[in-house]
Structure 1
């Protein structure tokens, strides 16, 4: 068995700290964490501390699909590391690392000046996937989730 690695990057117009916190607040999390069409969130429980566990009960066609794991590292506002286990991983632990990097312009200046809004590059890496099907399913799911975060953050920042 040769473990596979998935890597996804997404640029979002928001500060790293705001995006980071959206991953750790259960109420906010349940508003944007949707992995595809027809997927809903039944409940979210987050014990956001190293060693703390989380449970995300997604719904599809009337069925509850639990996704669970444990936080390994929480380095606000730059890095989250946690295990991820679900039916789609054959109930095996995988490892997810998410980094939040402020994007700088070509001159090396912070983009958070008076003319530009802050921007963040989110990089999501999932390790220990076993099959190409798992990689494909998780690529689709995480891409939709990051799109949901982008959309929700855009609405959140308008308030």
Structure 2
């Protein structure tokens, strides 16, 4: 079976360092990492270092849905790579890469620089079918929207 790749991007008004750190700080992460309106966060545990593991217990309709993985690369402030396993991947490891690329600010007409902008690109590999692509596309899009909202 051909593995599939999902790519989601979001331009966010924040500098790359702040965005990068929001992915690795438990308290901050718990505030913005929501994949949909009906989804909540029960608990988050993370050991943000290569080889370190994380566990995100999401809630839906009173059920706890564990999402877990292992950090592979942590390259501040450019890139985080981790495995991702959940009910939505049929409990198989997949691979997620999140990159943070600074978008050069332009000067406004009054000569002041605009707020820093960062393009956050999330690539999710090793997905097995269209259902997994659709579920994760919606989830990751909502998560990046949550990050954007939290940063504003």
TM-score, scaled to structure 2: 0.95
Q: CA deviation at 1:89?
A: 0.1
Counterparts of residues 5-154 of structure 1 (less than 5 Å): 5-105=5-105, 114-154=112-152
**Once the 2 structures are TM-superposed, how far is the Cα of residue 101 of structure 1 from its aligned partner?**
0.3
Runs (4+) of structure 1 exceeding 2 A deviation are none
Following TM superposition, by how much is the alpha carbon of 1:115 offset from its aligned partner in structure 2, in angstroms? 2.2
How far off its partner does 1:66 sit? 0.1
Unaligned 5+ residue runs, structure 2?
A: none
Q: Is the 8 A contact 2:44 2:57 kept in 1?
A: yes
Per-residue deviation at 1:105? 4.8
- In the TM superposition, what is the alpha-carbon distance from 1:30 to its structure 2 partner? 0.4
* Number of residue-to-residue matches in the alignment: 149
Distance in 2 of aligned mates of 1:115 and 1:143: 28
Which structure 1 segments of 5+ residues have no match? 155-159
RMSD of equivalent CA atoms: 1.3
